[in-house]
Amino acid sequence: MTRLVLRPYRATDRAAVLALINADRLPGQPEATPDMLAQALRGESPVDDNWWAELDPPTVHVATTADSNGDVVGVISCALRPKDDTGLILWAHCRENAAVAEVLIAHALAEVSPRPVEAFRFATALTLGLEALPVGHRPMTRAALERAGFTGERLWRYMHAALPRPGLPRADNVRIVPEPERKTARQLQVRRDGRTVAEAVIGEPVQGVGVLWWIEVGPEARRQGLGRALLGSALDTLTGLGATEAILYVDDDEPPGGERDRTAANALYESAGFNEVDQLWIYVRPTVTP
């Protein structure tokens, strides 16, 4: 492969970098826009904003070919978290070219070592809440991380469905209110005897994609079909807001029988027509002594 050169991101790289980002776009993710990229370059995100606020301003570098064309073939964003002196690889894209992935990860480590390093820890402004690395769609990036000494941990199951879903039941007495913790979200509440016994939180659609952030049914209302009915109501609401697709994230990293056993949740979503797109992993590399 042509020798690569790493240099800081320039405004003239915008189109090439957006093309790299969108080449990695998963089903159910909106196309990255110039505004989304500008937000990511500033180190901001509409999701996990409190975690992003703990970081120093990020640095963004591109990998270019060393020939006369100087084509942009990769991009990586890194930052430091001063409170615990940790380095972070925030996002990286390279069309899953193995050689470029190796160069990008090596550059990131040169920037932040010998600190401990976390990779793909937070959801960025470039996605719709996509936290961690989709390992099935990003095998070369995953391999480059592992060769560099990172250890992975599976966090999420990422699922997708087309809308509408007419075969689902609908819950009665659903109240829709703003979600206090997310500016672009709404909360669906099922109330009985003056109390909320079940709730769902949905994200307003972006480019026709809505998010089901979570569903929770209180212990006294379980095993009555309420979770399935509330799911139907949530997806109906997203359809009414203009969504033609829905995504969700299941934190099913705990084995069956544990406190956060998600076996029932997975069965519910699969029976409602959601399909697994990928599994999302974060990566950690301990401090390296020179």
Task: Name the DSSP letter for residue 58.
Answer: P
Q: Mean per-residue pLDDT for 96-100?
A: 97
What is the tens place of the pLDDT at every residue in 212-223?
Answer: 999 998 878 788
Token code pair at residue 216: 């929770």
Placement of tokens 């519910």 in the chain: 268
Q: Determine whether 84 is exposed, middle or buried from the number of CB atoms within 10 Å of its CB (0-12, 13-18, 19+).
A: exposed
Does the structure show a pLDDT above 70 at 260? no
Q: What is the pairing mode between strands 117-119 and 174-178? A: unpaired
Whole-angstrom distance, CA of residue 114 vs CA of residue 21: 28
Whole-angstrom distance, CA of residue 103 vs CA of residue 37: 22
Q: How confident is the model at residue 48 (pLDDT cuts 50, 70, 90)?
A: confident
Q: How far, CA to CA in Å, does 183 sit from each of 79, 179, 254? A: 26, 7, 30
Half-sphere exposure of 166 (CA within 13 A, CB side): 0
Does the structure show a pLDDT above 70 at 167? yes
Question: Do the beta carbons of residue 202 and residue 136 sit within 8 Å?
Answer: no
Report pLDDT for 166. 92
Does the structure show a pLDDT above 60 at 289? no
Report pLDDT for 68. 75
Report pLDDT for 113. 81
Token code pair at residue 177: 């209110």
Whole-angstrom distance, CA of residue 110 vs CA of residue 118: 14
Question: Do the beta carbons of residue 250 and residue 159 sit within 8 Å?
Answer: yes
Placement of tokens 């560099």 in the chain: 148
Reported pTM? 0.92
What is the tens place of the pLDDT at every residue in 16-33?
Answer: 999 999 999 999 999 999
> How many helices (DSSP H) and strands (DSSP E) are in the chain?
7, 13
Placement of tokens 């963004």 in the chain: 60
Does the structure show a pLDDT above 70 at 232? yes
Backbone angles phi, psi at 31, to 5 degrees: -70, 130
Whole-angstrom distance, CA of residue 213 vs CA of residue 123: 13
User: Per-residue DSSP letters for 215-280?
Assistant: EEE-GGGTTSSHHHHHHHHHHHHHHHTT-SEEEEEE---SPTTSTT--HHHHHHHHHTT-EEEEEE
Report pLDDT for 255. 67
Return the minimum-mean-pLDDT range out of 59-63, 154-158, 179-183, 212-216: 179-183
Question: Do the beta carbons of residue 266 and residue 253 sit within 8 Å?
Answer: no
Is the peptide bond preceding residue 164 cis, with omega within 30 degrees of 0? yes
Q: What is the pairing mode between strands 117-119 and 86-93? A: parallel
Whole-angstrom distance, CA of residue 66 vs CA of residue 107: 16
Mean pLDDT of the chain: 93
Report pLDDT for 258. 63
Q: How confident is the model at residue 49 (pLDDT cuts 50, 70, 90)?
A: confident
Report pLDDT for 183. 80
Whole-angstrom distance, CA of residue 160 vs CA of residue 180: 25
